[in-house]
Amino acid sequence: MLHQTLDMCGYPCPMPILKTKQALAKMHTKEIITVISNDQSSKKDFVAFCNQLGHKLISQEDDGNRIIFNIQKK
């Protein structure tokens, strides 16, 4: 199973969501992407994104000023 990491630190929303959506479109079902962001509004944005599109937000972890999301494609 492939695993991608997308570092979106320094990019304000909606860019982390848009780039994640593009990356997920190229992935297979059940593959996981790790997204790293330092935009605090990403927390609510990624929850809504996953709920809307049916992807699974496996984890959301605060790491200093960064937030690390692990998302599994539906």
| Phi, psi dihedral angles at 4 (to 5 degrees) | -110, 150
Q: Check pLDDT > 80 for residue 62.
A: yes
- Segments forming the whole domain that contains residue 14: 3-72
At 7 the pLDDT is 98
CA-CA distance, 44 to 46, in Å (whole number)?
6
At 52 the pLDDT is 97
* The two structure tokens encoding residue 27: 């992935």
Q: Which CATH number belongs to the domain containing residue 18 in this structure?
A: 3.30.110.40
Q: Which amino acid is at 44?
A: K
What is the count of structural domains for the chain?
1
Which residues, including other chains, have CB under 8 Å from residue 16's CB and lie 6 or more apart?
A: 6, 8, 35, 37, 39, 42, 45, 46
pLDDT tens figures, 46-60: 999 999 999 999 999
Nearest to 71 by CA among 11, 12, 17, 10: 17
Mean pLDDT, residues 63-73 taken together: 96
With pLDDT > 70 as the criterion, what percentage of the chain qualifies?
97
At 1 the pLDDT is 56
